[in-house]
């Protein structure tokens, strides 16, 4: 069983609260006077810190939700089950934070619904917009059982189990049609999904009694698509993005690194919430994640090296340009150091090495996304962009709000599993 | 498909076109100030109120310093990056050539600015209700059977308007007839897949501030395959996930946890 947890709101929470208020005040100022009054963006650098941090990095870091859902519910590693609910909650709040960030960043946020009726299936931005919208809805659905459990709504849970597979099919099929505009593709995809559901209903495949598998699948498919499409956004700028980062396989790199960052966030988050809520740390679970993480880092590193070699990028990396430095920060801090930590047995055994490795991966990921969106972009003759403190403060405010919401929900809803079960299994 | 041909050799820098553009599009004058750089140019850059700008460039030609004037405006690409980028279709390539902007559906994401290889679209960072602004090749005038205001205003014949093929041929003819006077390149013939504004000049275009490191393939060349792959990725993912679910089914039975 899961349970509500106790945790004190102390000085740390107070700071978060202050940061949130500051962010809100600055955001209101931005809406009253225009983006230029809080941001250093200019005509040559239309995208800056908000896109790099709130959107690119934020979404990748929220990838833990789909990774753990896949590991537990699709690949069947029950060991990690305790992580599912916190991860889904983090992902859900993460996406809400990202959407808030987007509303601050775009010039006319009240027109965002324009995307729902003006379909541009060749624009990666359109794809990301729709996918994020649908995935956030899936996350909300995945979270509902927590509410049902809290308020003891057994009937609602039953209806949910029954309806969700159909909802998932409708969402996926509609999306397939929206983006392919091809009847053949749509029919084939619809057929596969329907056959899968029929196989479950007919008893050919075992039904997961806890959650409709198709809902989980929808979440994973949408995540795969938009995590990679965030990379596709930059396929549009071969003329502006430095060779170091521009690659035709950007979508693949973005996807792998999102899996990597998502896993790292699982470790960071579990460690921190065990501190905050004064719960035991599920060390053996985190060690398993750490092992998986080291594999994903290796794969990502290999793909990047091959990609750079294949595109003959070499001298650019050894130059003394800010870009080259930013690249090496990304590689050394984000990949090599964590890999070294994860491969030392002592570090992993204590949980500290694990935690720091994950922190470094997260930092590296943030640097990578900011590099792609900002550092690597050349704005021609326009003054080089550096974020204004108010841009950063607004983002910090959004993140603070998200953390406060997470803590509040964990205290009031059954997110974490009861502790004794861990003591038994550890 | 219609196009403009700009012959910078014929341009005297009188800026009639700049004024005509403002007049037709009802754009207010700019508050200007001195800026370091090309002396007589005014204003400094394109903006929400300046969609067409004559740039003043000091270039050494045959040992003498000369003014060479450039024209900065939307190039009306054949396959515009801005149009492929826009998530809502606020930018549209019309059949006649102009790339036009439907301001009411724009969400202000500025992806068009990033995608434009010529750095043309301008965004109003100082307004709480900002729009994108850029030249629209006098789409409205063309619908009434008129030629663009800048072409009409030019007193020296530096701006010619007509069918794109004719303009390309004309540009090549001028270069062929005066091979010593002209730099042998038609800017816009191949840049970013070709554009509906063509430029010819006496000096290489980088010397008069044009962006010249633009690939010849359309901006969306790399994006298209990635977007095409989406349904295949969906199908592949569904099959792989479905198969994994079945394959791992057995471990699930052994130890199901309590809840979802
Ligand atoms: S020059 Fe830029 S704004 Fe104009 S059509 Fe081409 S991509 Fe669009
Ligand atoms: S800023 Fe407006 S016109 Fe430009 S890409 Fe975004 S929605 Fe389209």
Q: What are A69-110's pLDDT values in tens digits?
A: 999 999 888 889 889 999 999 999 999 999 999 999 999 999
Asked whether the predicted pLDDT for residue A191 surpasses 70, the reply is yes
pLDDT band (50, 70, 90) for residue A185: very high
Q: What are A49-58's pLDDT values in tens digits?
A: 999 999 999 9
Q: Which residue in chain B has the smallest CA separation from A189?
A: B235
Report the gap between the CA of B175 and the closest CA in chain A (Å). Answer: 28
What size, in residues, is chain A? 426
Ligand 1 centroid, distance to B84 Cα (angstroms): 10
Report the pLDDT value the prediction gives residue B37, as an integer from 0 to 100.
63
| Alpha carbons A64 and A273: distance in angstroms, whole number | 15
Asked whether the predicted pLDDT for residue B157 surpasses 60, the reply is yes
Window A:353-412, CB contacts with B under 8 Å: 377, 379-381
CB B238, CB A221: distance < 8 Å? yes
Report the pLDDT value the prediction gives residue A423, as an integer from 0 to 100.
36
Record: contact B231-A125, CB cut-off 8 A: no
Report the pLDDT value the prediction gives residue B66, as an integer from 0 to 100.
87
**Residue located via tokens 């902007």:** B101
Average pLDDT over chain B, rounded to whole? 91
Report the pLDDT value the prediction gives residue A7, as an integer from 0 to 100.
67
Report the pLDDT value the prediction gives residue B41, as an integer from 0 to 100.
82
Interface test with B, best of A42, A99, A107 (most B CBs within 10 A): A107
Report the pLDDT value the prediction gives residue B260, as an integer from 0 to 100.
45
Record: contact A43-B85, CB cut-off 8 A: no
Asked whether the predicted pLDDT for residue A307 surpasses 60, the reply is yes
Q: Write down the pTM of the prediction.
A: 0.92
Report the pLDDT value the prediction gives residue A419, as an integer from 0 to 100.
58
Report the gap between the CA of B180 and the closest CA in chain A (Å). Answer: 31
Q: What are A248-270's pLDDT values in tens digits?
A: 999 999 999 999 999 999 999 99
CB B18, CB B54: distance < 8 Å? yes
**Which of ligand 1's atoms lies nearest the C-alpha of B93?**
5
- ipTM, 2 decimals? 0.91
Residue A192 is nearest to which of B105, B235, B260, comparing CB atoms? B235
The region of weakest confidence among A10-24, A365-379, B55-69, B234-248 is B55-69
Q: CB-hemisphere CA count at 13 Å for A17? A: 8
Report the pLDDT value the prediction gives residue A62, as an integer from 0 to 100.
94
Backbone φ and ψ for B45, nearest 5 degrees, come out as -150, 165
Record: contact A238-B45, CB cut-off 8 A: no
Q: What are B186-211's pLDDT values in tens digits?
A: 999 999 999 999 999 999 999 999 99
pLDDT band (50, 70, 90) for residue B74: very high
Average pLDDT over chain A, rounded to whole? 91
Q: Following DSSP, what letter does each residue of A245-296 receive, concatenated?
A: T--TTHHHHHHHHHHHHHHHHHHHHHHHHHHHTT----HHHHHHHHHHHHHH
Asked whether the predicted pLDDT for residue A173 surpasses 90, the reply is yes
Element of type H or E holding B118: none
Ligand 1 centroid, distance to B190 Cα (angstroms): 14
Q: What are B17-66's pLDDT values in tens digits?
A: 999 999 999 999 887 777 766 667 888 889 999 999 999 998 887 788 88
Report the pLDDT value the prediction gives residue A275, as an integer from 0 to 100.
83
Q: Following DSSP, what letter does each residue of A148-209 receive, concatenated?
A: HHHTT-HHHHHHHHHHHHHHHHHHHHHHHHHHH--HHHHHHHHHHHHHHHHHHHTTSSPPPS
CA distances from A200 to A159, B142, B214, B232 (A): 16, 61, 54, 24
Which chain B residues have a beta carbon less than 8 Å from that of A86? none
The region of weakest confidence among A30-34, A199-203, A360-364, B62-66 is B62-66
Record: contact B231-A232, CB cut-off 8 A: no
Peptide bond just before B43 cis, omega within 30 deg: yes
| Alpha carbons A120 and A127: distance in angstroms, whole number | 8
Chain centroid to CA A5: 25
Report the pLDDT value the prediction gives residue B31, as an integer from 0 to 100.
79
Secondary structure (3-state) at A241: strand
Element of type H or E holding B60: strand B53-61
When pLDDT is averaged across residues A358-368 and rounded to a whole number, the result is 97
CB A361, CB A338: distance < 8 Å? yes
Asked whether the predicted pLDDT for residue B81 surpasses 90, the reply is yes
């Amino acid at each position: 069983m899961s349970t509500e947890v106790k945790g004190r709101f102390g000085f740390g929470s107070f700071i978060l609260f202050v940061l949130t208020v500051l962010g809100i005040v600055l955001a209101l100022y931005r809406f009253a006077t225009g983006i230029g009054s809080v941001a250093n963006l200019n005509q040559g650098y239309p995208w800056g810190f908000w896109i790099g941090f709130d959107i690119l990095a934020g979404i990748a870091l929220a990838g833990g939700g789909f990774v753990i859902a896949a590991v537990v519910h699709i690949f069947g590693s029950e060991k990690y089950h305790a992580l599912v609910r916190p991860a889904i909650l983090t992902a859900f709040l993460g996406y809400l934070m990202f959407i808030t960030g987007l509303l601050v960043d775009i010039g006319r946020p009240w027109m965002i619904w324009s995307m729902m009726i003006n379909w541009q299936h060749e624009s990666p931005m359109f794809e990301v917009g729709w996918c994020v919208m649908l995935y956030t809805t899936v996350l909300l659905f995945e979270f509902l059982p927590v509410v049902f459990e809290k308020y003891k709504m057994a009937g609602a849970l039953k209806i949910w189990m029954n309806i969700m597979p159909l909802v998932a099919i409708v969402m996926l099929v509609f999306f397939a049609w929206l983006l392919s505009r091809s009847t053949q593709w749509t029919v084939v995809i619809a057929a596969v999904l329907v056959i899968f559901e029929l196989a479950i209903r007919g008893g050919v495949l075992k039904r997961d009694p806890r959650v409709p598998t198709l809902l989980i699948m929808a979440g994973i498919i949408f995540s795969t698509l938009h995590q990679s499409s965030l990379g596709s956004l930059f396929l549009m700028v071969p003329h502006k993005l430095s060779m170091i980062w521009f690659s035709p396989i950007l979508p693949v790199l973005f996807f792998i690194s999102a899996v990597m960052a998502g896993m790292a966030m699982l470790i960071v988050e579990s460690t921190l919430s065990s501190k905050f809520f004064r719960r035991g740390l599920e060390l053996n679970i985190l060690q398993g994640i750490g092992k998986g993480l080291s594999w994903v880092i290796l794969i990502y590193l290999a793909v990047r090296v091959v990609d750079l070699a294949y595109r003959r990028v070499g001298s650019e990396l050894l130059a003394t340009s800010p870009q080259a430095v930013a690249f090496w920060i990304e590689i050394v801090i984000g990949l090599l150091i964590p890999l070294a930590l994860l491969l030392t047995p002592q570090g992993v055994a204590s949980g500290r090495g694990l935690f720091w490795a994950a922190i470094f991966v997260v930092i590296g990921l943030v640097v990578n996304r900011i590099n792609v969106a900002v550092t690597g972009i050349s704005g021609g003759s326009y003054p080089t962009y550096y974020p204004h403190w108010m841009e950063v403060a607004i983002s910090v405010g959004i993140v603070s709000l998200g953390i406060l919401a997470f803590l509040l929900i964990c205290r009031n809803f059954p997110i974490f599993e009861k502790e004794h079960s861990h003591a038994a299994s550890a | 498909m219609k196009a403009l041909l700009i012959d910078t050799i014929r341009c005297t820098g009188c800026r009639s076109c700049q004024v005509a553009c403002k007049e037709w599009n009802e754009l207010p004058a700019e508050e200007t100030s001195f800026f370091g750089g090309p002396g007589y140019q005014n204003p400094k850059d394109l903006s929400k109120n300046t969609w067409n700008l004559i740039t003043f460039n000091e270039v050494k030609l045959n040992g003498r310093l000369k003014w060479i004037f450039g024209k900065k405006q939307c190039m009306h690409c054949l396959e515009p990056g801005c149009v492929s980028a826009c998530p809502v279709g606020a930018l549209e390539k019309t059949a006649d050539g102009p790339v036009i902007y439907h301001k009411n559906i724009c969400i202000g994401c500025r992806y068009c600015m990033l995608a434009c290889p010529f750095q043309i679209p301008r965004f109003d960072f100082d307004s709480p209700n900002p729009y994108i602004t850029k030249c629209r090749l006098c789409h409205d005038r063309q619908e009434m059977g008129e030629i663009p205001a800048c072409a009409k205003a030019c007193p020296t014949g530096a701006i010619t308007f007509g069918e794109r093929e004719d303009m390309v041929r004309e540009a090549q003819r001028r270069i062929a007839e005066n091979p010593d006077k002209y730099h042998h390149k038609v800017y816009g013939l191949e840049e970013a897949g070709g554009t509906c504004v063509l430029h010819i000049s006496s000096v290489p275009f980088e010397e008069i501030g044009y962006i010249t490191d633009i690939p010849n393939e359309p901006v969306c060349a790399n994006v298209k395959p990635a977007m095409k792959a989406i349904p295949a990725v969906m199908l592949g993912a569904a099959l792989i996930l479905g198969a994994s679910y079945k394959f791992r089914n057995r471990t699930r039975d052994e130890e199901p946890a309590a809840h979802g």
